């Protein structure tokens, strides 16, 4: 632990080397890998807090045989480089996955918010002009009060009109 504290190595390398050394001494009968990965995450978190949230554990689980093979190879060579390379590739893969997930989420959120509430209401009422506003609200995922405000605005603009009785009426969508 003192070596890790005083090391000038990049924290990515130092954390992987510490992980290997912990695995090498194998202090417990079970759970050494989990604890080694936990310590590695703590070291990386101190260097950059966002690294604590990387799905490295998931990547390692998916590549578990490769993980154990790199440990065996490092042990047989008396050189942990192969294990460090494996862990760096796992961190890289988890970073790539996290970035892709974040970008996909950002695009999905942007796509969902791109269509204005008023346009969503008009689209729904074009398809189903008999719907009550509560049903429109449920279809577009908005509150009834939000839909009522938007409908009021659309009526004022002349883009929407309700004809007939409250029970049997229909919405007329007008193109302006």
User: pLDDT tens for residues 112-168?
Assistant: 556 789 999 999 999 999 999 999 999 999 999 999 999 999 999 999 999 999 888
Q: At which residue do the structure tokens 């924290």 appear?
A: 11
Q: Where are the alpha helices (DSSP H) in the chain?
A: 2-6, 11-25, 32-47, 56-62, 64-77, 81-114, 117-127, 133-140, 144-156
Of 90, 112, 134, the residue that ends a domain is 112
Residue 18 and residue 72 in one domain: yes
Annotated binding residues, written as ranges, equal: 30-37, 67-68
Domain of 166, in residue numbers: 115-173
Residue 109: per-residue pLDDT: 61
Residue 134 and residue 47 in one domain: no
CATH assignment at residue 133: 1.10.10.10
Residue 129 and residue 94 in one domain: no
Residue 89 and residue 125 in one domain: no
Backbone angles phi, psi at 173, to 5 degrees: -95, 125
Residue 39: per-residue pLDDT: 87
Question: What is the value of pTM for the model shown?
Answer: 0.56
Residue 70 and residue 91 in one domain: yes
Residue 12: per-residue pLDDT: 92
Tens of pLDDT, residue by residue over 70-98, are 999 999 999 999 999 999 999 999 999 88
Tens of pLDDT, residue by residue over 30-61, are 888 888 888 898 989 999 988 888 888 888 99
Residue 114: per-residue pLDDT: 64
Residue 128: per-residue pLDDT: 93
Residue 101 and residue 121 in one domain: no
Residue 102: per-residue pLDDT: 79
User: What is the distance, to the nearest Å, from the Cα of residue 26 to the centroid of all Cα atoms in its chain?
Assistant: 34
Q: Is the CA virtual torsion 152, 126, 109, 141 positive or negative?
A: positive
Annotated binding residues for ATP, written as ranges, equal: 30-37, 67-68
- Quote the number of domains for the chain: 2
Identify the three-state secondary structure at position 114.
Answer: helix
Q: At which residue do the structure tokens 């578990």 appear?
A: 64
Identify the three-state secondary structure at position 123.
Answer: helix
Active site residue 26: yes
Residue 57's Cβ-count burial label (10 Å; 0-12, 13-18, 19+) is middle
CATH assignment at residue 102: 1.10.3290.10
Residue 130 and residue 108 in one domain: no
Q: For residues 29 and 50, what is the distance between their CA atoms, to the nearest angstrom?
A: 31
**Which residue out of 19, 26, 48, 130 is catalytically annotated?**
26
């Amino acid at each position: 632990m003192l070596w890790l504290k005083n090391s000038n190595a990049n924290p990515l390398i130092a954390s992987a080397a510490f992980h290997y050394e912990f695995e090498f001494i194998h202090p417990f009968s079970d759970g050494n890998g989990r604890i080694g990965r936990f310590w590695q995450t703590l070291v990386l978190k101190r260097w950059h807090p966002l690294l604590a949230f990387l799905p490295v554990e998931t990547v390692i689980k998916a590549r578990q045989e490769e993980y154990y093979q790199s440990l065996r190879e490092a042990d047989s060579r008396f050189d942990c480089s192969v294990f460090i390379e494996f862990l760096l590739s796992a961190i890289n893969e988890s970073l790539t996955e996290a970035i892709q997930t974040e970008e996909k989420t950002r695009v999905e959120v942007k796509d969902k918010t791109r269509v204005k509430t008023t346009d969503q209401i008009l689209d729904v009422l074009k398809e189903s002009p008999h719907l009550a506003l509560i049903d429109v609200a449920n279809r577009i995922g908005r509150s009834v009060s939000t839909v009522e405000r938007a409908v009021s605005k659309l009526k004022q603009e002349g883009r929407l009109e309700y004809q007939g009785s409250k029970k049997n009426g229909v919405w007329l969508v007008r193109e302006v």
